[in-house]
Amino acid sequence: MAVPTIAELFGSSATLNTATKMLTINLADFLANEQLDTPTTAPRIATALIRRWNNNTKARTDQSDCGIVVDDPYKSLTVRGSTTQREYSYSCRIYTPDNSAAQPDPDDVV
């Protein structure tokens, strides 16, 4: 299985222009396989992104050239304020060469 491409992770028409440092994502293409309405807020877009990354990377756990893996969520109920809500906790693993850094450097991700 190859490393996920920009199109696999962000939608079929997604493009990355390295000269202008611009990532262009068409939300309709991004959501095509997610069966979601178009998100209208930043948290909803972030949730769609996490779901898509989970769907495209969870099977690549043992792939040494896949630098980020989002596992299936752990689900629980929690009370926030006075409202009971469903909580989804995703594990996101980022792989870099062993350089003992406190946080991952995006330039080092495999």
pTM, entire model: 0.76
| 45 falls within a domain | yes
Range of the domain at 52: 6-108
| 40 falls within a domain | yes
| 1 falls within a domain | no
| 32 falls within a domain | yes
Q: Cα–chain-centroid distance for residue 105?
A: 17
Burial class (CB in 10 A: 0-12, 13-18, 19+), 34: middle
pLDDT, tens digit, 9 for 90 and up, residues 8-58: 888 889 999 999 999 998 888 887 766 667 777 888 888 888 888 888 888
CB atoms within 10 A of CB 47: 15
Contact between 63 and 51 (Cβ < 8 Å): no
Q: How many CA atoms lie within 13 A of 76 on its CB side?
A: 6
Q: Total domain count for the chain? A: 1
